[in-house]
Amino acid sequence: MRRLILFLILLILLISIPVYSKRLHYEKEYQAVWCRNHCGQTEYILNDGARVDCLTKTHAVEFDFASKWAESIGQALYYGIKTHRKPAVVLILENPQYEDRYVNRFKTVANYLCLDYWFMYEKDLIK
Rounded Cα–Cα distance for residues 86 and 45 (Å): 17
Total domain count for the chain? 1
Domain residue limits at 43: 24-125
pLDDT tens, position by position, 63-100: 999 999 999 999 999 999 999 999 999 999 998 888 99
Percent of the chain clearing pLDDT 90 (strictly above) = 66
The CA-CA-CA angle for residues 46, 106, 62, to 5°, reads 20
Residue 114 in domain: yes
Residue 47 in domain: yes
Residue 31 in domain: yes
Return the exposure string of 18-41: e unless at least 16 CB atoms fall within 10 Å of the residue's CB, then b.
eeeeeeeeebebbbbbbbeebebe
Residue 12 in domain: no
